[in-house]
Amino acid sequence: MKRTHNNGELRINHVGEKVTLIGWVAKKRNMGAIVFIDLRDRYGLTQIVFNEEFASKTKDIKNEYILQVTGTVVERSSKNPHMPTGDIEVDVEDFTVVNTAKQPPIIVADETDASEETRMKYRYLDLRRPVLQNKIMTRAKIVKSIHEFLDGEDFIEIETPYLNRSTPEGARDFLVPSRVHKGSFYALPQSPQLFKQLLMVSGFEKYYQIARCFRDEDLRADRQPEFTQVDVEMSFMDTDQILDLGERLVAKIMKDVKNIDIQLPLRRMTWHDAMEKYGIDKPDTRFGLELVNLNETVKDVDFAVFKSALEANGHVKGINVKGEASHFSRKKIDALGEIAKKYKAKGLAWLKVTDEGVSGPIAKFFNEEQLDRLLKAMDAKADDLLLFVADSHYMVVCDALAAIRNHLGKELKLYDPHTFDFLWIVDFPMFEYSEEDGRYYAMHHPFTRPKESDLDKILTDPAHCLADAYDIVLNGFELGGGSQRIYDEELQDKAFEALGFTEERIRSQFGWFVDAFQYGAPPHGGFALGLDRVAMLLTESDSLRDVIAFPKNTSSKDPVTDAPGTVDDAQLDELGIAVKEGVLDGESE
């Protein structure tokens, strides 16, 4: 069982060589007395020719059989320029069936007609499709590139525990009942945050890990309960040095995997500017269509929606969809309005600019001077479509217009989908206020250090305290982010206090952690990249599922193994836990 070559490597210069190949039957064609088989392995396809002598012995062979074939490489009479091995074929002199195959439930080829559900269930066949196999291999290439870069920068790969302590702040933990300490639970890590900080206290200076992380959240759209994070932390480096390192890492990945040179340094945009221009902290910067702040411009316009928003200290923002007025019917504009409503806006106001002025339901509220001011503010010309959202809440205005902007960018094909536009978002607020809970939450996490200039605001003016935190954004996705961390106990206590934690809670939940700061903790910071997302974007995939070998489905099930499953009562007894009565009957799914 030895092969001389793989199925992707034979070329015209191999003609005349005797070779042995192994692979799966991708396609079989009878041409009169001759049989052609495309043999497939992870490297590619090679055409095998079974002449009359052998053709009859191929009768039972079907797709997905595994064959070992020995023969001579010959030049093809009709070459296939779309196939790397298309100049040659192998003339069989001997072959054996290594294994047989039933008719597979999906078509094992790039183009398959199977449903997502069937593909997920037979994932091991889905993964045979070259398009998907290449995505998994590209992911491995990304990982290799990361190892090379960080090893080369003197970072130490260190593993941190997966059986952790549960910390209620943040997303919901997956729990693991302890058998030895019955009634107690481990939690799977949402990130190695605290351990990586301890490693800095330990003096490792430069740490990284490609770590699995777990969040038991409801799986909206494209989330996974377990995901992989490239986790990087370093001591004694200022933010410029950390960003420099982060972007050189990304540049190496782009070069190694896509052969694209990205220009460094990446540009930086403050969180405030991103919100103002794009309404979102992960803007897709491949196209314009920027938001315009109209608070001043429309302050005296007698339109109730604008007025009530501004009177409540709210906001009015607009987008100029240039040259599209004539392409947007009432129906299409209404569809945009629906997007606005999905993001909690009360509605979407609009105007079409014509050579004669403006038209649209709210045109009547503008006098000439107000209109001039508006058109100037929005740089509006004839055939522009102007969209407006007003609300007392800044985030509602931003969310709604950002969603509309992303929708239009895609629909109007305002960008080349094969471009990669990276940037840093910096100067995030430390906190965001939850009116529902009446308290502040950490925008990144409670261990983020405020900007040096804002250190004193942490308790006195938390709403305006900026964090020394940053995100790296690509094409409208957050690839990752990080921050400088707090490294003294007093400041950490203040940060907890700003979040409304009692002294008792700080001690019981984080005492072990803040204690570490007493013994010579170095200034430190770092970042994490979402590996699944990086792989998804670099393979130009629509879903994280394409770059995870065995993903969970949207109801957190593994479609291959059908996990999670019920377990024996004896197993639960050993753990000292029981499933509550009625739970199994009323299972949510």
Annotated binding site for L-aspartate: 169, 215, 444, 485
Q: Does 180 bind its own copies (CB under 8 A)?
A: yes
Shortest Å distance, C-beta 576 to its own copies: 4
Report the distance separating Cα 570 and Cα 487, nearest Å.
Answer: 46
Crossing angle of helices 130-152 and 531-538, in 10° steps, is 120
**Could you give the CA distance from residue 27 to residue 177 in angstroms, rounded to a whole number?**
50
Options 62-70, 277-285, 313-321, 436-444: segment touching its own copies (CB under 8 A)? 62-70
Length of the chain, please? 589
Applying the rule CB under 8 A, the residues between 5 and 44 that interact with its own copies are 22, 24, 40-42
> Considering the rule CB under 8 A, would residue 312 count as an interface residue with its own copies?
no
Max CA pair span of the chain: 91
Contact pick of 164, 320, 406, 539 for its own copies (by CB under 8 A)? 164
Residue 64 touches its own copies, criterion: CB under 8 A: yes
Backbone angles phi, psi at 469, to 5 degrees: -130, 160
Among 13, 327, 512, 543, binds its own copies (CB under 8 A): 512
Strand 439-442 to 431-434 pairing? antiparallel
Shortest Å distance, C-beta 493 to its own copies: 16
Q: Applying CB under 8 A, which of residues 48, 90, 125, 469 lies at the interface with its own copies?
A: 125
Give, as ranges, the residues between 403 and 422 that touch its own copies (CB under 8 A): none
222 sits near its own copies (criterion: CB under 8 A): no
Q: Do residues 34 and 54 touch, judged by C-beta distance below 8 A?
A: no
DSSP, res 545? G
The only residue of 112, 133, 370, 541 in contact with its own copies, by rule CB under 8 A = 133
Cis geometry, peptide bond prior to residue 168 (ω within 30 degrees of 0):
no
Residues belonging to the binding site are 169, 215-217, 224, 444, 478, 485, 530-533
Number of residues that bind its own copies (CB under 8 A): 123
According to CB under 8 A, which one of 225, 323, 357, 360 is a site residue for its own copies? 225
Q: Which residues pair with 21 in a beta bridge?
A: 69
Out of 33, 107, 140, 455, the only residue in the binding site for its own copies (CB under 8 A) is 140
Cβ at position 177, least distance to its own copies in Å? 6
Give dist(CA 118, CA 109) in Å, integer.
14
Q: By C-beta, is 292 or 521 nearer to its own copies?
A: 521
Q: Choose, by CB under 8 A, the member of 341, 518, 543, 569 that binds its own copies.
A: 518
Q: What's phi and psi for 268, nearest 5 deg?
A: -120, 140
**Cα(235)–Cα(207) distance, integer angstroms:** 9
507 binds its own copies (CB under 8 A): no
Our finding on whether 447 is near its own copies (CB under 8 A) is no
| Secondary structure of residue 72 in the 3-state scheme | strand
User: Of 50, 149, 186, 366, which lies in the binding site for its own copies, with binding defined by CB under 8 A?
Assistant: 186
β-strand pairing of 422-426 with 268-270: parallel
Question: What are the backbone dihedrals phi and psi of residue 141, each rounded to the nearest 5 degrees, phi first?
Answer: -65, -40
- The verdict on 522 binding its own copies (CB under 8 A) reads yes
Cβ-based neighbour number of residue 1 at 10 Å: 7
| Identified binder of its own copies from the candidate list 156, 264, 363, 455, rule CB under 8 A | 156
For its own copies, the binding residue among 32, 81, 168, 417 (CB under 8 A) is: 168
Return the residue of 5, 14, 128, 215 that touches its own copies, per CB under 8 A: 128
Is residue 351 within 8 A of residue 362, CB to CB? The reply is yes
44: helix, coil or strand?
strand
Nearer to its own copies, 161 or 361 (CB): 161
Question: Which residues 451-490 are close enough to bind its own copies by CB under 8 A?
Answer: 487-488
Pairing of strands 206-214, 156-157: parallel
Q: Which stretch binds its own copies (CB under 8 A): 183-191, 289-297, 456-464, 471-479?
A: 183-191
Interactions with its own copies, residue window 89-108 (CB under 8 A): 98-102, 104
CA atoms within 13 Å, Cβ hemisphere of 464: 5
